[in-house]
Amino acid sequence: MVSLLHRATIKNRICAASIIHKVLPALYSNMIYSERLTKLDVDSLELRRLHLDLICAYKIMFGLVETHVAIFLRRLLLLLPRGGVT
């Protein structure tokens, strides 16, 4: 389970990144996106979304969030052989 401190840290990083991108565009307007990310030491939007998708998938797989998909995946995993798909 994700600790409250870890959850707050994630939320703070995302909030800080969005503020930086809104407040400082004039300072970095002559740089391309990847250069700005490096200079500001923030993750790309694609990577941030991937992290959130992985967190969501983890929660579904380990039953921390109950969804129809979670029920389907749990049943599917019970049907798979122990060594994986053959």
Chain segment 18-45, per-residue pLDDT in tens: 766 666 666 667 888 898 889 889 899 9
pLDDT score of 25: 65
Distance CA 35, CA 52 (A): 23
Does residue 5 surpass a pLDDT of 70?
A: no
Sign of the alpha-carbon dihedral angle for 46, 47, 48, 53 = positive
pLDDT score of 51: 92
Q: Provide the residue count of the chain.
A: 86
